[in-house]
Amino acid sequence: MAIIDFGGVKETVVTRKEFPLSKARKVLKNEVIAVIGYGVQGPAQALNMKDNGFNVIVGQSPEFKKDWDRAVADGWVPGETLFDIEEAAKRGTIVQMLVSDAAQRAIWPTIKACLNKGDALYFSHGFSITYNKKTGVVPPKYVDVIMVAPKGSGLNVRRNFLSGAGINSSYAVWQDATGRAEERCLAVGIAIGSGYLFPTTFAHETNSDLFGERGVLMGCLAGVMEAQYEELRRHGHSPSEAFNETVEELTQSLIRLVDENGMDWMYSNCSSTAQRGALDWKPKFKKAVAPVFKALYRSVASGKEAERVIESLSGENYQEQLAKELAEMRNSEMWQAGAAVRALRPKEKAKTITKDTKGVTGRDA
């Protein structure tokens, strides 16, 4: 493990140097990794592990034809590497629960019945375990319970793997039944393509994830974008101008500079007018939103957000309601303008995929 200084706070992390892919292959050489669910995280993690040379199978309900057909299209073979959920769970020695939190509650009795002594139960989000009194997901004492939580969507887990960059992940052990739980956990973390892994707990991961998604990553981001766009439109700016100044410049230019070298570096590569205004208004925005973030964390830590999730996902008409809410966002003027702007972007070069002994990389065709 490496000790890294994060702005004056030292933290222990695991990098590919300390835990190389060759070591992960040795640790998992006798394991059958069953990826349960081929929706969001499932395809990326399964394909990354497969490309890295691990013994992977997929468990997906044929009733969800779209996901089943996607798995087939990705090269998983029914009856050989693609099975229904129960059969895959029976065959797996590491069972990865990569269906949604709501689906985990629904399939848990089936999964539990398939677990054998010494198996490992794997999660990429701590929700079901952290709130197991509410979800009913209580693992038997004879299995390892581990987690690797990539800090990105399944789409980016795959994209970053193909580019060779990897994606950072947190990891945790909730139950060590075999004495090998941490080793197995880290090995799977490397197998799915993590750039580096940092330790956490199931509870911390759950709280930070719920907090972040409702905050900067999704809820806050969408809210402040709408507020800025609508204010520009109120003052007569066109949809194209309002969208470009609110979203397009952020996603296509500025956030990429932040990614490369940090916020200060992005500031230093903008005009002096932009620098001055940003520095002057940054504390005003921080002061305005700090109370909202405090209230949000209280709601997460108290379990209220978990209760809201469980209650809403249990509703018979949840999918219809979700589709309605997403449609309202998609059909708003702001995101209709966004669709028009994206259509005007120059098309990117196609990618081809090549394999080598280190895994998979992407290159321009």
pLDDT, tens digit, 9 for 90 and up, residues 92-121: 999 999 998 888 999 999 999 999 999 999
The domain of 92 spans 2-201
127 and 24 in a common domain: yes
Which CATH number is 93's domain given? 3.40.50.720
Same domain, yes or no: 242 and 307:
yes
Q: Which residues pair with 356 in a beta bridge?
A: 359
Whether 229 and 339 share a structural domain:
yes
**pLDDT above 70 coverage of the chain, percent:** 95
Taking each helix axis from N to C end, the angle separating 202-214 and 219-234, rounded to the nearest 10 degrees, works out to 10
Nearest to 141 by CA among 188, 174, 167, 184: 174
The DSSP code sequence of 242-309 is: HHIIIIIHIIIIIHHHHHHH-HHHHHHTS-HHHHHHHHHHHHHHHHHHHHHHHHHHHHHHTTHHHHHH
Q: Which of 125, 204, 235, 237 is catalytic?
A: 125
Rg of the chain over CA atoms, in angstroms? 22
Note the pLDDT of residue 136.
Answer: 92
Does the annotation mark 125 as catalytic? yes
Say yes or no: 158 and 221 in one domain.
Answer: no
What is the pLDDT confidence band of residue 352, given thresholds at 50, 70 and 90? very low
Q: Are 225 and 167 in the same domain?
A: no
Q: What integer pLDDT is reported at residue 348 of this predicted model?
A: 60
Helices (H), the chain: 21-27, 41-51, 65-73, 85-91, 101-114, 127-130, 132-135, 154-163, 181-191, 202-214, 219-234, 239-243, 249, 255-261, 263-268, 272-301, 304-313, 318-330, 333-343
Residue 105 placed within a domain:
yes
Q: Report the candidate in 344, 323, 328 with the shortest Cα–Cα distance to residue 243.
A: 344
Q: How many CB atoms lie within 10 A of CB 291?
A: 9
Asked if pLDDT for residue 360 goes beyond 90, the answer is: no
Q: How many domains does the chain have?
A: 2
Last residue within a domain, chosen from 157, 174, 201: 201
pLDDT in tens, 230-240: 999 999 999 99
Residue 359 confidence (pLDDT) above 80: no
Which tens digit of pLDDT belongs to each residue from 124-179?
999 999 999 889 999 999 999 999 999 988 999 999 999 988 899 999 999 999 99
* Contact present, 101 and 312 (Cβ < 8 Å): no
Banded model confidence at residue 349, pLDDT cuts 50, 70, 90: low
